[in-house]
Amino acid sequence: METLTLVREAAGAVIAFIGLIFVFGGGLGLLRFPDVYTRLHAATASDGPGAALVVFGLAVMAPDLAMAGRLVLLALLIVALGPVFAHLAGSAAHAGGVAPIAGKYAAPRPGARAERTHD
């Protein structure tokens, strides 16, 4: 029985770690993308599934079936409601007049001095 528990916990840890990689990628996208809409895409495309994978990994590692069921339900809610909240945030940004960056965008180089555009 101990071997089965060890295998279950190892599988849950691997699933949760994969979810953490997704969440880390979404956080990196939030830091690097230039405007609200592309940042919102990064958050929706990777943070939602990543968080659901983390919670599902915790469900695999859960000590009893009742807790695992609640965690699976939480993962399903994260997957179902993530796009709804992203749509609300995008609609609010659009209604507030936030425009996307048009044209070619060049990210600032690390260590380079920022150019002043407003004098």
pLDDT 10s per residue in the chain (119 long)? 699 889 999 999 999 999 999 999 999 988 888 888 889 988 888 988 999 999 999 999 999 999 999 999 999 999 999 889 999 998 998 888 888 877 676 666 777 666 655 54
Check: CB of residue 56 under 8 Å from CB of residue 69.
no
- List the one residue out of 39, 42, 35 whose CA is nearest residue 97: 35
110 is a domain residue:
no
Q: How many domains does the chain have?
A: 1
pTM of the predicted model, to two decimals? 0.77
113 is a domain residue:
no
52 is a domain residue:
yes
Greatest CA separation for the chain: 71
Domain encompassing residue 15: 2-95
Tell me the two tokens of residue 31: 């830091």
112 is a domain residue:
no
Distance CA 118, CA 75 (A): 46
115 is a domain residue:
no
